[in-house]
Chains A and B, each alone.
Chain A
Amino acid sequence: MENTKTMEPILAVRDLKVSFTTPDGDVNAVKGISLDVRPGETLAVVGESGSGKSQTMMGIMGLLASNGRVTGSARYRGQEMVGLPPKALNEIRGAKITMIFQEPMTSLDPLYPIGKQIAEVIVHHRGGSQREARPRVLELLKLVGIPDPERRIDSYPHEMSGGQRQRVMIAMALANEPDILIADEPTTALDVTIQAQILKLLRDLQKRFDMAIVLITHDLGIVRHFAERVVVMRRGEVVEQGATAEIFENPKADYTRMLIEAEPHGRKVAPADNAPIILEGRNVVVDYKIDGGFLKKRANTFRAVDNVSISLHEGQTIGIVGESGSGKSTLGRALLRLIASKGAYRFGKTDISELDRAGMRPLRRSMQVVFQDPYGSLSPRQTVGEIITEGLYVHEPQLSRAERDKRAIEALKEVGLDPSARNRYPHEFSGGQRQRIAIARAMILKPQAVILDEPTSALDRSVQGQVIELLRDLQSRHGLSYVFISHDLSVVRAMSDYVVVMKDGRIVEEGPTDAIFNAPKADYTRTLIGAAYNIGP
């Protein structure tokens, strides 16, 4: 692999442009970029959303939306791909250059068994019949680590987990032994431990098949451990490219430096030991009924949270860490009494275990929640002003219109938005701004405890850093207490002074942040931390 630098590139991209025709005029997504992919290497293309990193590859592969256009040159082994008729392009796509995508849940056709879909790709490029391809499909499934391939070959995508579906996509990508595998954010939608497994698998297979990998990602942690060379993109242009170690140690472009520094840092100081408890749940148990259906007796229950106790002190931030299905979000909802659950709950000195909805209502203003999805959690038909003042109608109905407006202005200023925002609609704002609006909606009621359910997970790293700063700032100004739920360990580390690690509805380990990160006791915590920080061999 040492001599890759001297080898001829197998994919040479020169002055590639991608533009989209929209009702508002042409949008130039990629503005003339050049890069080389050399045999057997791993090239990372890094950038935030909207940088054009995905559209570059889509353009080369002829996969742009119907209003997209690609110009310039992309030569695969000397063969020009831009402007190649579909028939000729189909000889390369899926055989010589293959792709895996960010969305393992939707990238496979839900209506056909996975074995059939892999076989289809083999049959199309190599001829033969579905039946003849079957042994090869089994071999591929084994290769990508699907357990019990003889049985799973006839499974439908919805019967598999996200990680398994991504493995199936990888099997499909390898089916015709390609020269280049383009991986477009292949692990973004997956849990950290699964992410580590998938990346390791890709690395092993890369060696075995001697193929180049083009890794499109926004995650610098992955780049650092996985790629040999990096191309940094911003607004459709390449700002910097070079060897990975060089870029990280000595970034030349300001933007690259900013990206590297955007990794969350800082620490939260724990409150005094005698700080009073603001929100507490003892022996929390949440059972979900698994739908038995009409006229069916056997309704099963699934225990999402199993006997968990948690006490939030004033001024404290408890980070709840876990993978999807660990019960961390459910626990957050149970603490707020938003879902049916067993256990003893108290808010300040009030016992809230037995309160019904009406009984909880006066307390709601003091315990707020901010959700992950800044797109789905704001009503698209209300102005920002209406959205953030809605809670005031319930909790402070005596306020006049002018007073409410004043509070809206204050709240928006507090989260760093211009007060004029209150007359606009959510779709006019970016993801980070929307999350600020969601935070303003919680803060306008002057709460004491806030549950933050993955508030930064849908955001780019640099925006994420700003939102974290804002949350920390609000906390110290108003003495807030947070329960911070996240699967992102680096963010949790920067935000919380106490960490709870959850798995399968139970607490695996808990303790002060530094103790957990520096000296994890439970195996699972070690795996989690190892997966997030040491992606590599």
Chain B
Amino acid sequence: MLAFVLRRLASAVPTLFIVVTISFFLMRFAPGGPFNLERPLPPATMENLMRAYQLDQPLWRQYLTYMSNALTGDFGPSYIYKDNSVAELIGKGLPYSMELGFYALLLALVGGVIVGTIAALRQNSALDFAVMSVATVGVTVPNFVVGPVLTLIFAITLAWLPAGGWGDGSLRFLILPMIALALPQLAVFARLTRGSMIEALRTDHIRTARAYGLPAKSVVVVHAMRGAMLPIVSYLAPCAAALLTGSAVVETIFTIPGVGRYFVLGAINRDYTLVMGTVVLIAIFVIVFNLLVDILYGLLDPRVRHD
């Protein structure tokens, strides 16, 4: 097991290296630069800026400088948020995004599994159709629609909850963004659960469990559910990585000071270092969660246990 984890972590290094390299060059090949504003800067100013940020050097040298700095944990200064380094920006915003993302993940997972299981057990009933139609809506309606609608209803009309901000970080402030963030994922979990539960309930060993008079509850929970969880666990990794690293849309709508908007803002403004920082962050999350999920998978299914 330890050997497995170490091997996986070792193989993460080249992955990370390739991700960073590709994003570095892709970003540079996009037209424009961090200081191309609507009203062009005077050439002299521009030149000074380029020199100050070492953007006047050949691309390969910039790449080497970036890589060697990154290895020491220095991801450079942000070109837009001029007073902050990229590491500072991410360090400040990440706890907010992670806390919100964690609650959203929990809501999506628990809610989706419950809803999907109910739908599977009442397959093709009115309840099944109702629940799954709502789930389809959850997937199709984007959160820049869900967010404002939630605000309109619960913050403005009913005035039950605050419309935005982090406030003191209490649950009241988190409920609406959490729902907006979780809803599409909850729908995905519900659909996945329904499908794999229906399949699990049709397997031969479920027939065996029923033939031996085991009560419905233990047939479903002990035997069907555990097998049905496997595809859900697989989806957990990309989902967790996406939710915990924040959402540009939801964080903007609810004015959450997280890291979600940095990726979009950085890309639009050609804030090279900020984009690179977010890419590294997301890549690390994806790698770590994939590893965690593989370990979890082994615990759930003895057939893929890692030695």
- Give residues in A with beta carbon < 8 Å to B: 61-63, 65-66, 86-87, 89-95, 98-99, 101, 103, 106-111, 120-121, 124-125, 156, 158, 169, 172, 294-295
A94 contacts B214, CB within 8 Å?
A: yes
B216 touches A109 (CB 8 A): no
Determine whether the beta carbon of A124 is less than 8 Å from that of B227: no
Q: A63 — which chain B residues lie within 8 A by C-beta?
A: 207, 210-211
| Chain A residues within an 8 Å CB radius of B209 | 109
Known contacts A106-B205, A295-B7, A94 near B213 by CB under 8 Å: yes
Stretch at the interface among B27-35, B83-91, B297-305: B297-305
**Selected A-B contacts with CB under 8 Å, 7 pairs:** A103-B204, A107-B205, A109-B205, A109-B209, A110-B227, A124-B218, A158-B302
Residue A124 contacts which of B202, B215, B223, B303 (CB distance < 8 angstroms)? B215
Is B172's beta carbon under 8 Å from chain A? no
* B208 CB–A CB distance under 8 Å: yes
- Chain A CB within 10 Å — which of B207, B212, B227 has the most? B212
Instruction: Name the one of B202, B205, B216, B301 contacting A108, with C-beta atoms under 8 angstroms.
Output: B205
Tell whether, in the assembled complex, residue A120 and residue B214 are in contact, meaning their CB atoms are under 8 Å apart. Answer: yes
**Given A103-B204, A111-B227, A61 and B123 contact (CB-CB distance below 8 Å):** no
* Closest chain B residue to A103, Cβ basis: B204
Q: Is the CB of B208 within 8 A of A90?
A: no
1/0 contact string of B280-304 vs chain A (CB within 8 Å)? 0000000000000000000011110
Q: Contacts A110-B205, A111-B227 given: A92-B303 contact, CB under 8 Å?
A: no
Interface bits B107-143 vs A (CB < 8 Å: 1, else 0): 0000000000000000100000000000000000000
Once bound together, how far apart are the Cα atoms of A298 and B232, in whole Å?
Answer: 34
Chain B residues contacting A95 (CB-CB under 8 Å) are 213
Q: Does B45 contact A (CB under 8 A)?
A: no
Q: With a CB–CB cut-off of 8 A, which chain B residues contact A107? A: 204-205, 207-208
> Known: A90-B213, A158-B303, A295-B7. Contact between A101 and B227, CB under 8 A?
no
Contact B211 A90 (CB under 8 A): no
Interface of chain B: mostly helix, strand, loop or mixed: helix
A61/B214 in contact, CB under 8 A:
no
Q: Is B203 on the interface with A (CB-CB < 8 A)?
A: yes
Cα(A93)–Cα(B211), bound, Å: 6
Which one of A93, A110, A169 contacts B210 once the chains associate, using CB atoms below 8 Å?
A: A93
A271→B194 CA distance, assembly (Å): 61
Interchain CB contact under 8 A, B213 and A91: yes
B92 at the interface (CB under 8 A from A): no
Most buried by A among B202, B205, B222: B205
* Contacting residue for B303 out of A156, A172, A294, CB 8 A: A156
A295 to B203, CA, bound (A): 36
Q: Decide if A99 touches B211 in the complex (CB within 8 Å).
A: yes
**Across-interface contacts of A294 in B (CB, < 8 A):** 7
Assuming the contacts A106-B205, A295-B7, asked whether A98 and B302 have C-beta atoms less than 8 A apart, the reply is no
Question: Of B7, B123, B211, B302, which contacts A156 at CB under 8 A?
Answer: B302
Q: Which of B187-215 contact A (CB under 8 A)?
A: 202-205, 207-215
Say yes or no: is B226 at the interface (Cβ < 8 Å to chain A).
yes
A349 CA to B214 CA, complexed, in Å = 65
Chain B residue contacts of A124, Cβ below 8 A: 212-215, 218
Q: How far is the CB of A261 from chain B (nearest CB, A)?
A: 33
10 additional A-B residue pairs with CB within 8 Å, beyond A94-B213, A98-B212, A103-B204: A62-B210, A65-B202, A94-B211, A94-B212, A101-B208, A110-B302, A121-B213, A124-B214, A158-B302, A295-B7
Alpha-carbon distance A61/B212, docked complex (angstroms): 10
For B223, the closest partner residue in chain A by CB is A109
Q: How far in angstroms is the closest Cβ of chain B from A26? A: 17
A517–B213 CA distance with the chains assembled, in angstroms: 46
Given known A-B contacts A101-B207, A107-B204, A121 and B214 have beta carbons under 8 A apart:
yes
Docked CA distance A124–B215 (Å):
8
Please give me the residue from chain B that is nearest to A67 by CB atom. B124
- Min CB distance, A400 to chain B, in Å? 47
| A124 and chain B: residue at smallest CB distance | B214
B211 touching A98 by the CB < 8 A rule? Answer: yes
